[in-house]
Amino acid sequence: MRHFLALPAIIYLLVLFYLPFLITLLYSFGFPGFTLKHYSEILDPLYLKVFINSLILASITTVLCFILAYPLSYYIALKAGKWKNFLLLLVILPFWISFLLRTYAIMTLLTPLGLMFTFPAVVIGMVYDYLPFMILPLYASLERVGRSQIEASYVLGAKPSQTFLKITLPLSKSGIFAGVLLVFIPALGEFVVPTMLGGTYATIGTITWDLFLRYHNWWKGSALSVVYMALVLLAITIYIKRSERIEL
C-alpha cells in the first residue's frame, strides 16, 4: 500500500474538482440531452473579444509584475545582506490579509483618485494582488545564482551590464518561468478584481460568473469554462515546451 500517502489528496481533488469538472463537461454538451450549440455560440465575436480582453489584462499584469518584481528580488537576494529576511517578510505580509479585503482596501484608495471602474484601476488591482507571486520565485532563483558567479564574471572582465545579461538573467530563468506561470494563469481567469474595480471590463472570469449566476445559463457557462480550460492547457504546454528548449 505505498499509494496510500497520495490517497487523501487524490480523493479530495477527485470529489471536489474532477467530478464537478466532469459535470461541467456534461453540461457543456447540453446535459441531459446532447448538442454542440453552446460551443458554436461561444465562437461568437463577442466572446472572442472577451478572450482577447482577458489575454491583454493577464499579459499586462504579468509584464508589470515582472518589471516591478525583478529589481526587488535581485536586491533582496543579492544586495540586502542582513535585511533580507525582513524584506521577504514585507513581501509576504499582504498574504496575511484576505485577497478580497485587500481588493476592497484598494477601492478606497482608487476612489479619491477618480480611477474607479477604469481599465487602469483593474491593472493596478491585479498587480497589487499578484506581485508577491512573481517576487517569491524570482527571489528563490536569484538566491541560488549566488554572488560568486557574478563576481567571477566581473573578474573575467565583464562589465556589470554584460554580467547581468550573460550570467544573472539566464541563471534566474527558472524563477522567471515559475513567476510568469504563477501570475499569468490565475490572472487570465481572474474575475474578482475586474468585477470590483473594472465595472464593465468583461473578462472570461466575469462572463463565466454572469452566465452561471446572473443568467443561470449553466450550459453556455460550462462550454465557456471548458474552452477556457483547453486554451490554458494549450498555452501552458507550448510555454513549457519552449522553455525546455531554451534550457533552465
Partner 1 sequence: MEGFAVELDGVSKSYSNFEAVRDIKLKIRRGEFFSILGPSGSGKTTILRLIAGLLYPDKGSIRLMGKDVTFVPAYKRNVGMVFQDLALFPHLNVFENVAYGLKVRKTPEEEIKRKVKECLEIVNLDPEKFGKRKINQLSGGQQQRVAIARALAIEPSVLLLDEPLGSLDLKLRQHMMSELKRIQKTVKTTFVYVTHDQSEALIMSDRIAVINQGSLEQIGTPAEIYENPATKFVAEFIGEMNFIPAEVYNGGLISEIGYIKVSNLNGAKRVLVAIRPEKIKIGCRNLDNVYNAVVEEVAYVGGFLSVKARINDFCLKCLTSSDLRVEENQKVELGWRADDAIIFEA
Contact between 154 and partner 1 (CB under 8 A)? yes
In the complex, the smallest distance separating the C-beta of residue 171 from partner 1, rounded to whole angstroms, is: 6
| Position 80 contacts partner 1 (CB under 8 A) | no
Cell of 105: 482596501
Task: Give the three cell numbers for residue 38.
Answer: 453552446
CB of 247 to partner 1, least distance (A): 7
The three cell numbers locating residue 85: 529576511
Q: Is 204 exposed, middle or buried (0-12, 13-18, 19+ CB in 10 A)?
A: buried
Nearest to 240 by CA among 177, 188, 186: 177
Long-range contacts of 215-222 (CB under 8 A, 24+ apart): 218/27, 219/27, 219/28, 219/30, 219/31, 219/38, 220/38, 220/41, 220/42, 221/27, 222/24, 222/25, 222/26, 222/27, 222/28, 222/38
85 lines the binding site for partner 1 (CB under 8 A): no
Q: Whose Cβ is closer to partner 1: residue 55's or residue 158's?
A: 158
Please identify, using beta-carbon distances, which residue of 153 and 208 lies nearer to partner 1.
Answer: 153
Taking CB under 8 A as the rule, does residue 151 contact partner 1? yes
Contact residue for partner 1 among 148, 200, 241, 245 (CB under 8 A): 148
**What binding mask, one character per residue, do residues 228-247 give for partner 1 by CB under 8 A, x or -?**
-------------------x
Residue closer to partner 1 (CB basis): 16 or 152: 152
Neighbours of 150 (CB within 10 A): 18
Letters for 173-212 (x = contact with partner 1 by CB under 8 A, - = none) are: x---------------------------------------
* Distance between CA atoms of residues 143 and 87, nearest Å: 14
Is 227 within 8 Å of 188 (Cβ atoms)? no
Q: Which is nearer to partner 1, 13 or 165 (CB)?
A: 165
The one segment of 7-15, 88-96, 165-173, 213-221 that binds partner 1 by CB under 8 A: 165-173
Q: Please give the residue ranges that form the binding site for partner 1 (CB under 8 A).
A: 146, 148-149, 151-160, 162-163, 166-167, 170-171, 173, 247
